[in-house]
Structure 1
Amino acid sequence: MMQMLSLKKVSVSKRRSSRWRMTCGITKQHGNNNKPEYLCSGFFIPKLMVNVDYIVVGGGYAGLFFAHQLIKNKKTFVIFTGDRKSASRISAGIVNPVVLKKFTTFWLAKEQIEALHRTLNEISGYTRENYLIRENIQRIFHDENEKDLWLQKSESEELNPYLNPYFKQLDVILNPFGTGTVDQSARLDVNAFFKGLNEYLSAHDHVHEEAFDYTALQDHNYRKFTFKHIVFCEGMGVRKNPFFAEIPVIPNKGHHLKVSLSERLHHQFTLKKKHFLFPLDEKFHYYGGTYDPNERPDEVDAHATQQLRDGLSEFYPHAFEVEEVNFALRPTVKDRRPILGSHPRQPNYYVFNGLGARGILNGCYFSEILFEHIEHGKPLIPEVDLNRFTVKHL
């Protein structure tokens, strides 16, 4: 004989609580209705789960450009940006198709520049902001030999679109051999980019600013979320990730200065000799950044700061004040290629890392590559596939 279910009267306070819901089809909460309600004894409906297509972990270039792919393709998602300031947020934002030490270009430069312009136009479509500052890089020549090499390289099919053969002579700074213009170069307004995209994501309930808790992750569930795929875009934070801690990313420490110049520059160019100099606003300029592949303490390095002071003094012969010294750890890879792929035992867990010093270009271009791989099974480019490494402990 079936046992009868006992009934309990529920107090008004519990009826008003969002935790109490209809059980056994007997009754349900109706806002502020004060009539008695009943629950089946011993039964309680748990908190409802939220279904999303994706969870994205990380709020740097990799995370935000991948989030854009999800917006563009109308996928549901949440993004955990964490409380740690990423290297992306204090980056220079330089968009540069040329290696300015040797006057060469790099792998997929043309494709990446084109993808960036297309993607930023798409982002501007929903944030209603333009984030690209179309001011060229002016490379300050060290001597006549560099000018000759520039002219020689500018005649090649590969570099002709980028190395302008007509030189400039700029005032205020020391440039006795002139400067060369890098065509198709620009810079991203980094602060505006992160502010604008995060405001848009927050307004549409995508953003969770707390740190991601790996212990709460199980298969397709994370706390109140049920998801199809999770993409970890954590930079050097990946070393704390129990699923991808062993991927071979190397921290490259970079410093930059925020300076005020006593003698105003009469242009908005990005100047480059040893490092980059460009205006942040009417008062301050950015100067940096350094490259240090050695794992040094997580603090400002005096030698790097002095290196930057000396570098700026080489071509800016006027007084300047250092207002701030900032640094971050770039996630780099020995072969200078990003790392994309899925976990061998959790195929719906993905990593997107190793963007290096070209975080904007790599983040933009490979976010679409990764999305197409996840959604449509398009094979990853072998050069960026996680499987190119033998990672023993994944």
Structure 2
Amino acid sequence: MQVDYLIVGQGLAGTVLCEHLLQMGKKVVVVDDLTLSNSSKVAGGLYNPITGRKMVKTWNCDNLFSYLIPFYQKLEQKLGVRFLIEKPIYRPFASTEELNEWMGKSAEENYAPYIKEIKDRSAYGDHVNDDFGGILLNKSGYVDTAMLINAYQSYLLAEGFYRNEVFSYDHLELLNKGVKYKDISADRVIFCDGRLAQNNPYFQWLPMRPVKGELLFVKTHTSIELIYNRGVFVIPLSDGICKVGATYDHENVDENITSKAQNELTRRLKQLANFDFEVIDQKAGVRPATKDRKPFVGTHPAHKELVVFNGLGAKGVSLAPFYANQLANHLETGDHLDSEVNIERFFSLI
């Protein structure tokens, strides 16, 4: 079989990149193992333009957020499933000073597109502790990553674009032009293999810093319509079930749920919430994060037929569409890659 691209891994990165290449008329085959765990499937899936303790615009926000919503909407239409949930995020203020700061920022051209409303007094006190008011964000929501990945996997299987197997480096041959993998000949192979990149003999020099994250699923009798985010995020799903997260563990990088994480998330949720809740489930996954918190995008310095698209971390839902598009255009037309994500920044480590 002759293809343009062989993609290794069908998490969020592999899914989104594959779609961009197919839209460009390229022939693609994805190799992944259906039995392997996938951190993308247990991710919070939140896309949030203003983040962090200091509440600043997320890195490269304007580029990312102008692209991601139209991309996901178009993919929903193609797959015939709904996985993009556009929903305001409400973040309570911790003090009058924080309220005053955001009253000023809301008038700034830099922030205005992402601010739906500033509440100068309690607006959702029945649900959360917001004595000082809060900020209601625009261009926010979440992606049901498990639904997206499973639906796209079904599409790839139906089209004959999917190989259900563990990728074997022993079967990858680098040729004078292109690569050969078993019966597949490809111009390039793109590794979207998440945390497994640490075992990749061609890219293991990249400074991956995997981070374990745990989530809770809680049941409440309160009807919640917004996403709440302070200390923890609370994402309403359906039938009174909410997703609550997340933890960040750099030391115990496994996929086992822990009572420590449950206790920590429960404690933080109680500080935020005024609604009743019961923990009904818990999930854990390992995010493919990086040393500098920026993705790994680009081609191997010695083998131009080897490409990496990885390290999307906790903000993969926001990062994947824009940088998949940039990488696809880079490979096909030679367009530049942003220096912040180009793996050239780590060539000195080889």
TM-score (norm 1): 0.82
| Alignment deviations for residues 183-205 of structure 1 (CA, whole Å, 9 cap, x no partner) | 11121122321222222112111
3-state SS of the aligned residue for 1:345?
A: coil
Higher RCO (CA-CA < 8 Å; seq separation 6+): 2
Q: Aligned to 2:37, which of 73, 85, 90?
A: 85
Cα contact 1:150–1:163 (8 A) shared by 2: no
1:174 offset after TM fit, Å? 3.1
Match of 2:153 in 1: 198
1:391 offset after TM fit, Å? 5.0
Q: Aligned to 2:201, which of 242, 245, 249?
A: 242
Match of 1:126 in 2: 78
Extract structure 1 runs of 4+ deviating beyond 4 A: 295-298
Q: Which runs of 5+ in 2 are unaligned?
A: none
1:319 offset after TM fit, Å? 4.1
Q: Aligned to 1:71, which of 22, 29, 54?
A: 22
**Residue correspondence of structure 1 range 185-334 to structure 2 within 5 A:** 185-219=140-174, 220-261=179-220, 263-265=221-223, 267-334=224-291
Cα contact 2:222–2:240 (8 A) shared by 1: no
Query: Structure 2 counterpart of 1:249, which letter?
Result: M
Q: Distance in 2 between matches of 1:244 and 1:364?
A: 22
1:169 and 2:118 aligned: no
1:347 offset after TM fit, Å? 1.1
Match of 1:366 in 2: 323
Stretch of structure 1 that moved more, 146-155 or 50-59:
146-155
Q: Distance in 2 between matches of 1:198 and 1:368?
A: 20
Query: Structure 2 counterpart of 1:190, which letter?
Result: T
Query: Structure 2 counterpart of 1:169, which letter?
Result: A
3-state SS of the aligned residue for 2:313?
A: coil
Cα contact 2:211–2:253 (8 A) shared by 1: no
3-state SS of the aligned residue for 1:332?
A: coil
Q: Aligned to 1:102, which of 33, 45, 54?
A: 54
Query: Structure 2 counterpart of 1:152, which letter?
Result: G
1:304 offset after TM fit, Å? 2.0
- Structure label with greater radius of gyration: 1
| Alignment deviations for residues 110-143 of structure 1 (CA, whole Å, 9 cap, x no partner) | 1111111221233134213332212110112223
By percentage of residues, which structure has more helix?
2
Match of 1:347 in 2: 304
Quote the RMSD (CA, aligned, Å): 1.8
TM-score (norm 2): 0.92
Q: Distance in 1 between matches of 2:84 and 2:347?
A: 39
Stretch of structure 1 that moved more, 297-306 or 103-112:
297-306
Q: Distance in 1 between matches of 2:313 and 2:253?
A: 17
Q: Distance in 2 between matches of 1:296 and 1:233?
A: 19
| Alignment deviations for residues 272-331 of structure 1 (CA, whole Å, 9 cap, x no partner) | 111110122214210001123335454223322211010111132454222222111212
Provide the identity percentage: 27
